[in-house]
Amino acid sequence: MAIEEFLSKVKDKSAKIGIFGLGYVGIPLAHTIHEAGFKVLGVDVDSQRVADLNAGHSPIKHIPSDVIQAMVADGFEATQDFARTTECDALLICVPTPLNKYREPDLGAVEATMRAMSPYFRQGQLLALESTTWPGTTDEVLKPYVEARGLKVGETFFLCYSPEREDPGNADFKTQTIPKVIGGDTAACRAAGEAVYGSFIDQIVAVSSTRSAEMVKLVENIHRSVNIGLVNELKKVAHAMNLDIFEVIDAAATKPFGFTAYYPGPGIGGHCIPIDPFYLTWKAREFGLHTRFIELAGEINASMPQYVVDRTVAALNQRGKSLSGSKVLCLGIAYKRDVDDMRESPSVFVMEILRDWGADVAYHDTNVPHFPKMREHHFELSSVDLTPEGLASYDAVLLLTDHNDVDYDMVRAHAPLVIDSRGRFRAAAQASPSSDADNVVVA
């Protein structure tokens, strides 16, 4: 099939689009494409995830179940059957790309997906990888699977890379309105990718190659990692100098040029910022380069859970208490405000250190009613209710993720000790300067 025939199918929306990986990226993407008028097939290896979606149940908070129900009623279907790859004209891969225990890229999910779907490749399809990875993955890992089927990339088959840019919980942007970067293996591949994504994304940003597009995603998240690492280190310095780092950053942010405000916290979480920089540090070693700046930022950010615990220990000691045996409530355990995503959440690392040091740990997070099954972390816990009596029973309350559904005035009024890693109680104290905030320690 020539590029003209492919473009025609996209233009008249007769093309069927397959989403491989139905998680925090794949589900919003499927919804956006469905809303644009295309037939969408979702493919995932998780039988429970497939069953839930086909029953109209959304597994992620920011896509309500009624949205999934409407999609299913209008023809959306989820399946575990990779043989149905052949039905689709565009194949968009949105599977996890974590690090292994040696902090090296783990493309196991990408490779497994390619092995499962490649026997069903046919002429006239577009394959686009959205998962974050190192520059060269599309060309070096995906392309051989295509060529092994006897397909000619750029002529009978089209290959692109287009990094996901989802930001769960961000009310200002959705999949359709976030500009989409696309790099193609050839000019024809790029044209095919621009046509598909341009049919449901408002702005397309084309770059010269798949490698360039892969690098774009890493640069975006390395930028955030380095700047967050900087303010996390500055927080420690400011504390030593008895300065309020949040006040300092807020004042610096009034400069109308040359400064972007980043705020400190208990670490960094999510599937991007803690992970993506190390894809580039790993690849850079192939070229004899040591990315010291990137790795230092990662070390600083990884040290923050221990810093929060150390500040908790010091605050308890000042009150004549030991961390061992103390009842500690962790307030907010998702990785960011108002989401249910637990991936790489620094709160979990704080909870593990507290548990290892003998604390009696509980948590409150309405976004995470029950502590989920995680590959490397395990707690048999459920979210506890926040009540004045319950708060008073804890030796310390650690604010780790500042969800908006929490009554912070009640927490401050009834918790004997609050360790605030987000600066939330500082804002409350400023709003009510007559209130007693002596039980608050900013960490």
Residues 6 or more apart whose CB falls under 8 angstroms from that of 429 comprise 435, 437, 440
Question: Do 132 and 218 meet the contact criterion of CB atoms below 8 Å apart?
Answer: yes
Which of 184, 125, 182 is closest to 149 using CA atoms? Answer: 125
Which of 279, 287, 264, 177 is closest to 219 using CA atoms? Answer: 279
* Ramachandran quadrant class, 290 (left: phi over 0; alpha: psi -120 to 50; beta: rest): beta
How far apart, in whole angstroms, are the C-alpha atoms of residue 387 and residue 364? 11
How far apart, in whole angstroms, are the C-alpha atoms of residue 160 and residue 190? 7
Catalytic residues: 272
Radius of gyration over alpha carbons of the chain, in Å? 24
Q: Within a 10 A sphere around the Cβ of 241, how many other Cβ atoms?
A: 8
Question: Do 126 and 91 meet the contact criterion of CB atoms below 8 Å apart?
Answer: yes
Which of 114, 200, 204, 216 is closest to 159 using CA atoms? Answer: 114
Half-sphere exposure of 269 (CA within 13 A, CB side): 24
Half-sphere exposure of 65 (CA within 13 A, CB side): 7
Q: Within a 10 A sphere around the Cβ of 268, how many other Cβ atoms?
A: 26
Helix or strand (DSSP H, E) at 294: helix 292-318
Question: Do 153 and 144 meet the contact criterion of CB atoms below 8 Å apart?
Answer: no
Q: Within a 10 A sphere around the Cβ of 201, how many other Cβ atoms?
A: 23
How far apart, in whole angstroms, are the C-alpha atoms of residue 226 and residue 50? 37
Tokens of 416: 């004997």
Would you call 176 helix, strand, or coil by DSSP?
Answer: helix
Q: What is the dihedral of CA 157, 188, 164, 9, to 10 degrees?
A: -70
